[in-house]
Amino acid sequence: MEKQKLLYEGKAKKVYTTQDPKLLIVAYKDDATAFNGQKKGTIQGKGAINNRMTNLLMSRLEREGIPTHLVEELSARETLVKKVSIVPLEVIVRNIAAGSFSKRYGVEEGLVFNAPTLEFSYKNDALGDPLLNDDHAVALGLASREELALIRKYALVVNEVLGRIWADCGVTLVDFKVEFGRLGDGTIVLADEISPDTCRLWDAKTKEKLDKDRFRRDLGGVEEAYVRVMERLTNGL
């Protein structure tokens, strides 16, 4: 399958059409942004790592019964995926307090929850991705109640499966963001990416951050963290 025309360019990926109207090619970039695009930079080698990691994790999730948009990896940075229309919700699951949760509710990073929390943000850069509840999502016509229930169910299974995979690699899955899309017939599938850009991953022993927080917070060692966490995954699988 070959790239035809650029359909969309996001902050971290480009999406191309193909000869098949039901399939798209995603190309991962090394560009990194944070704080709704206010901070910009490059993480050398990130595109290839995020492509590989997303595909490894989505294949595992497929085997555990989660439908995804993945078709096949085409090259180091490119993957063939099913065309979806993205449900404009950022679905965030947290196991440990960090980031915006800690800030919003005034709790220290590292507080371990008894059970995972799930929240939705409205995927809308102009509004700064505001937090919203099910009623708001339905009122705005972003998804139906049935779709929201399915998305919640899938997101919690994703958390269980990914939590286990990372634990086996000596890494703690603190939190993550996923996105879902609708196929032509309305079927909900997991889409977008699962990578150190979209997950908080801490070394289980030292609690060292092995994800994009190193870039967001200017902690240094950004490229090294992506390489190391990818090595952990491939050695652990």
* Cβ neighbours around 62 below 10 Å, total: 14
Residues 6+ apart with CB under 8 A from 237: 56, 165, 169
> Which residue among 101, 180, 215, 226 contacts ligand TMP (CB under 6 A)?
101
Residues of this chain that bind ligand ASP (CB under 6 A) = 11, 33-37, 212, 216
Cα–Cα distance, 191 to 39 (Å, whole number): 25
Q: Are 56 and 233 in contact (CB under 8 A)?
A: yes
Q: Are strands 39-42 and 89-96 parallel, antiparallel or unpaired?
A: unpaired
101, interface contact from ligand TMP, ligand ASP, none, CB < 5-8 Å by kind? ligand TMP
Q: Closest approach of Cβ 35 to ligand ASP, in Å?
A: 6
Note whether 175 binds ligand TMP by CB under 6 A. Answer: yes
Q: Closest approach of Cβ 11 to ligand ASP, in Å?
A: 5
Stretch binding ligand TMP (CB under 6 A), from 18-26, 141-149, 193-201, 229-237: 193-201
Nearest Cα residue to 3 out of 28, 29, 23: 23
Q: Which residue is nearest to ligand ASP (CB)?
A: 33
Q: Name the residues that contact ligand TMP, by CB under 6 A.
A: 92, 98-101, 175-177, 198-200
